[in-house]
Amino acid sequence: MSAPLLLLTDEIATPLGAFTLIADEAGRLHAAEWTDCADRVERSLRLLHPEGYSLERARNPGGNSAALRAYFAGDIAVLDKLAVAEFGTPFQRLMWRNLRKVKAGTTLSYGAFARRIGKPAAIRAVGAANGANPISVVVPCHRLVGADGALTKYGGGLHRKQWLLEHEGAA
């Protein structure tokens, strides 16, 4: 039997509260979430790694902590440089990969995003995959909004979604 996947974890302070990030030894993010939403992280990791994993505290794993600090300090483009692990269902992978292509400072409705990825009838599936995103901020689920432009559903709370969008320059 092989050893469980070793994941490295760190916590950073942000203007919105403590933020936990979890990366593998190659520096690819497996989870990133507000520390007060730790239950979401645990649930995601169990689903994404049913073979098991172990967590070990580390300073700045893969440079991710420094990059996220830079993001919160105003270097929005730094998110584009971060590596994320590929996992989830084929639809989730399609969804999350394409979320990273939504430019900072812009928002899309769930319907517009579904059309963009070639799945115009999958609006609810887009919403479900967006809600299951284990790598908050870096895979920018906060950039999807309601059909009327209203802020809708964000695991970390709508106050954080609003702050992130304003931080990135979205109207």
Q: Which residues are identified as catalytic?
A: 141
Half-sphere exposure of 33 (CA within 13 A, CB side): 22
SS3 75: coil
CB atoms within 10 A of CB 16: 18
The angle at the Cα of 48, spanning 76 to 11, to the nearest 5 degrees, equals: 45
DSSP 4: P
Question: What's the burial of 50, exposed, middle or buried (CB within 10 Å: 0-12/13-18/19+)?
Answer: exposed
Residues 157 and 150: their CA atoms lie apart, in Å, by 14
The pairing of beta strand 53-57 with beta strand 5-12: parallel
User: What Cα–Cα distance (Å) separates residue 3 from each residue in 6, 24, 86?
Assistant: 8, 14, 20
